Amino acid sequence: MVSAAIALAFLPFLLTLLLRYRHYLLLLYWAVLLGWLRDRLSGVPREQRAFQFLLAHAVPGDPRHVLQTFDRWSQQREHLSCVGPVKGRIVERLLAERAPLWLLELGTYCGYTTVLLAQGMPPGARLYTVEVNPEHAAVAEKVLRLAGIDEQRVQLVVGTPEAVIPRLRQQHRVPQVDFVFMAHWKSCYLRDLRLLESHQLLPAGATVLADNVLCPGAPHFLQYARSCGRFRCRLHRASLEYFDAIPDGIAELRYTGTA
């Protein structure tokens, strides 16, 4: 009797939690549990399943259509953690405004943002994209070729940002990077930003964009960017990719080079 009374007392609280966080529970089901189950049942990773969908539905050599097909997959089939169309338009606008010649992407994943950046780069620009997972890198390589993007414009480097960033200048002949897009592990954002600084890879005026700074969030990165005195920081608020009800944002950092 006492246990039942306690349970009834907590019921309104539990219902409130379920209502407040229902969108996050749906995200957990759609993006994690369902994908994990299908991976186990099919024996084929979701990234490879997404690429097979691209092969069947995307127009080869058309980067814009490849991105639209990616969006169809993530909206109708299975969730992929890509920047998505809403935040993608923010990236495209900033890329057009800055017209960078040296670009760096940390976290290639399946190549969605790589294609987005490559198709918006000015002539003569070069993009280096870093992916730690070899299987994801293999999918991204095929996505880039499907979109008609060759190795003269984009070089995919397999490795950790922590290992690749110190070698950019000497091994890859990258003098500095004008435009950086971060979409890898959020806990690594701050470390890798400081690596770029310590290796003097950011010229004055360089742009650093960091995705998902609100969901799942990168608070230490944001605190550093706002307080160190070397960046002008702006937050572009949007929704989480393919989940309009969950708030997210892209942090835009402009490097001043002065403390």
pLDDT (tens digit per residue) in 189-240: 999 999 999 999 999 999 999 999 999 999 999 999 999 999 999 999 999 9
Per-domain residue ranges of the chain? 2-76, 84-255
Sequence-separated (6 or more) residues with CB below 8 Å from residue 28: none
- Residue closest to 181 by CA, chosen among 192, 168, 195, 169: 192
Q: Which CATH architecture has domain 84-255?
A: 3-Layer(aba) Sandwich (3.40)
Residue-level pLDDT at 24: 73
Side by side, the strands of the sheet bearing 231-240 are 154-158, 126-131, 102-106, 179-182, 207-210, 243-255, 231-240
pTM of the shown model: 0.91
Identify the CA nearest to 212 among candidates 232, 187, 180, 192.
Answer: 187
Identify the DSSP state of 216. Answer: I
Band the pLDDT of 39: cuts 50, 70, 90: confident
pLDDT tens digits for 129-140?
999 999 999 999
Write the pLDDT tens digit of every residue in 50-67.
Answer: 999 999 999 999 999 999
- Per the DSSP assignment, residues forming a β-bridge with 106 are 130, 182
